[in-house]
């Protein structure tokens, strides 16, 4: 398949270049790459790999949490005994015949695309660009095409030496996307129809060894934004003896937050509630709703402990802590560029757009309630004030953060997803100012007076006009005039479209 002879092949993305193939100049033969998840590099294939195993799966991540589930290492192989639910399979580990439940998101069918480090089954074009920009030149990944069902997208970080542009005043785009089509007739894959391959792996290996076709060679798979998927725990109600509290991470009106472990193994964050501040029945009802929230920019609620005091919530541990604290660090102020701030704001909008579709109202959206992991992935957190309703009216005794609260909520106690949009405008202020307190120099009463007169915060020093425009769109007096979170997400993701980043540095 690697030897292709034809008159002329032309890249659909570059009509100026054409490559002519001659019979006496065959392309280099394609070497079928070894799938690293079939067996460890340097190791012989496992017993399972030498014969057909029904429902054969392989681990693509380590999993050590041993609460009603089977721990395993990357490359371990399984036979699935029962596809119990979409999230958990009952499996037998082939190397020692141990049995137990394994999380579906940590394993993949043996030999499938999901077992390759360059394939990402759920990844947007925007996130592909973020990943590639953090990787070396020539890095690549493959994902399902968003615009052409049944096809795939090969996304590549183009080496600077190979970049081209028709407009010398504009910096050429360093990320390119190629459509990989699949021919059902002969079961082949191709970017150019004249050059079909038996598999996507063969196609990629060819472009790693030949630079004539794209104008450069592929180098290595892009580095994922996070080394592991979101942590999952099979048991929802855990025993207090399985929870070990570590150092304090923070505290609030309702309780404390600690770094901790489950069964002495899995690193997690644990939020405890002061006795008497939480009605157990009401808490369980809301927790059941919250555990169904699944999104890359929403903090995962893993487990609860309600059988003993204090009541506890177990969540994933975010290495960089609260966004507010992260923004205020000197190292962050030195390293973070405007494109990074825009990306963080877009992630927060993405998480809130998801909540918007579920009917949740956060009611306390602020940088202190957004958490950041080691890859600068932002996740909306602290749903202590959240309500599942289109509109929520607070009681006269409810305390609220005045500087983050919309006028209709602060003055009349009426909360909705549109009051969350107002709070998001304040979050935008926090991000662009590296964690400054909003309404600088004003106390809560003065802020309430401003809200009544429809006065607004001034543009922060150094804040780009388009960014300030987004802030002000969130602060329209009439809640119905404020944008949706979906609109804000798209506006932030397309922030630099048609402009150059230099204009905002």
- How confident is the model over 438-471, as pLDDT tens digits? 999 999 999 988 888 888 999 999 999 999 999 9
* Long-range contacts of residues 275-281, Cβ cutoff 8 Å, at least 24 apart: 275/309, 275/310, 277/253, 278/254, 278/311, 280/306, 280/311
pLDDT at 40 over 80: no
In the block, tokens 């993305």 appear at 13
Of 209, 224, 248, the last residue of a domain is 209
Which tokens in the block code for residue 309? 């005091």
Asked if 391 and 435 sit in the same domain, the reply is yes
- The whole-angstrom separation of Cα 379 and Cα 53 is 39
Distance CA 230, CA 219 (A): 28
- The CATH number that applies at residue 170 is 3.30.505.10
Query: Are 18 and 146 contained in the same domain?
Result: yes
> Is 235 within the bounds of a domain?
no
For residue 138, what are the contacts with CB-CB under 8 A and spacing of at least 6? 156, 157, 159, 216, 217, 218, 219, 220
Give which of 32, 197, 229 is closest to 114, Cα–Cα.
229
Number of domains in the chain: 4
Which residue would you say has higher pLDDT here, 180 or 394? 180
Whether 123 and 75 map to the same domain: the answer is no
Does 339 share its domain with 429?
A: yes
CATH of the domain at 389: 1.10.510.10
> Where does 158-242 show beta strands of DSSP type E?
175-183, 188-190
**Does residue 289 have a pLDDT over 50?**
yes
Alpha carbons 396 and 374: distance in angstroms, whole number = 40
Same domain, residue pair 258 and 357: no
Active site residue 364: yes
pLDDT digits (tens, 9 = 90+) for 192-220: 988 999 999 999 999 999 888 888 899 99
Q: Which of 295, 316, 337 is the C-terminal boundary of a domain? A: 316
The counts of H helices and E strands in the chain are: 11, 22
**170 is in which domain, residue-wise?**
9-35+116-209
430 domain residue, yes or no = yes
Per-residue b or e along 15-38, where b marks 16 or more CB atoms closer than 10 Å to that residue's CB: eeeeeebeeeeebeebeeeebebb
Q: Which of 94, 114, 134 is the last residue of a domain?
A: 114
Q: Does one domain contain both 311 and 334?
A: no
Q: Which of 76, 127, 350, 364 is catalytic?
A: 364
Per-residue pLDDT at 399: 59
- Together in a domain, 140 and 174: yes
Q: Which helix (H) or strand (E) holds 409?
A: helix 407-412
Which neighbouring-strand residues pair with 393? 414
Query: Does position 30 have pLDDT exceeding 50, yes or no?
Result: no
Convert the pLDDT of each residue in 224-260 to its tens digit. 877 667 778 888 888 898 899 999 887 766 678 899 9
Which residues fall within 8 angstroms of residue 241, CB to CB, at 6 or more apart? none
- pTM over 0.85, yes/no: no
pLDDT value of position 173: 66
270 lies in a domain?
yes
Same domain, 159 and 271: no
Kindly state the greatest CA–CA separation across the chain. 85
- Asked whether 253 and 369 are in contact (CB, 8 A), the reply is no
């Amino acid at each position: 398949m690697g030897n292709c002879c034809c008159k002329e092949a032309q890249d659909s993305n570059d009509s100026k270049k054409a490559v002519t193939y001659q019979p006496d100049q065959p392309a280099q033969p394609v070497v079928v790459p070894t799938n690293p998840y079939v067996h460890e590099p340097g190791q012989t294939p496992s017993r399972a790999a030498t014969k057909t195993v029904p429902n054969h799966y392989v681990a693509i991540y380590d999993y050590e949490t041993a609460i009603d589930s089977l721990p395993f290492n990357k490359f371990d192989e399984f036979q699935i005994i029962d596809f119990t639910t979409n999230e958990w399979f009952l499996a037998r580990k082939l190397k020692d015949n141990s049995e137990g439940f394994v999380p579906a998101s940590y394993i993949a069918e043996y030999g499938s695309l999901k077992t390759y480090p360059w394939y990402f089954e759920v990844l947007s074009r925007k996130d592909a660009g973020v990943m590639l920009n953090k990787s070396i030149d020539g890095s690549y990944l493959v994902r399902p095409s968003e615009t052409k069902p049944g096809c795939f997208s090969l996304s590549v970080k183009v080496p600077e030496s190979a970049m081209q542009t028709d407009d010398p005043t504009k910096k050429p785009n360093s990320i390119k996307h190629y459509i990989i089509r699949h021919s059902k007739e002969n079961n082949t894959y191709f970017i150019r129809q004249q050059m079909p391959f038996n598999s996507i792996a063969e196609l990629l290996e060819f472009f790693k060894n030949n630079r004539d076709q794209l104008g450069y060679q592929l180098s290595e798979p892009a580095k994922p934004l996070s080394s592991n998927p979101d942590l999952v725990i099979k048991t929802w109600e855990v025993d207090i003896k399985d929870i070990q509290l570590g150092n304090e991470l923070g505290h609030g009106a309702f309780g404390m937050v600690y770094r901790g472990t489950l069964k002495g193994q899995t690193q997690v964050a644990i939020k405890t509630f002061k006795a008497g501040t939480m009605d157990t029945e009401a808490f369980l009802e809301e927790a059941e709703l919250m555990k169904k929230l699944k999104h890359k920019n929403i903090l995962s609620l893993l487990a609860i402990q309600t059988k003993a005091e204090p009541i506890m919530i177990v969540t994933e541990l975010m290495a960089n802590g609260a966004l507010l604290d992260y923004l205020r660090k000197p190292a962050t102020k030195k390293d973070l560029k405007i494109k990074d701030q825009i990306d963080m704001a877009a992630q927060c909008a993405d998480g809130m757009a998801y909540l918007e579709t579920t009917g949740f109202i956060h009611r306390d959206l602020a940088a202190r309630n957004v958490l950041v992991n080691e890859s600068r992935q932002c996740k909306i957190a602290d749903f202590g004030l959240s309500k599942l309703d289109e509109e929520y009216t607070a009681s006269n005794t409810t305390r609220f953060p005045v500087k983050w609260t919309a006028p209709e909520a602060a003055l009349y106690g009426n909360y909705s997803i549109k009051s969350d949009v107002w709070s998001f405008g304040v979050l935008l202020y926090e991000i662009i100012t590296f964690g400054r307190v909003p309404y600088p120099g004003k106390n809560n009463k003065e802020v309430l007076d401003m809200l009544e007169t429809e006065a607004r915060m001034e543009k922060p020093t150094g804040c780009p006009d388009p960014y300030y425009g987004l802030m002000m769109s969130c602060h329209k007096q009439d809640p119905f005039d404020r944008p949706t979170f979906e609109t804000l997400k798209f506006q932030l993701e397309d922030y630099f479209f048609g402009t150059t980043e230099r204009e905002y540095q």
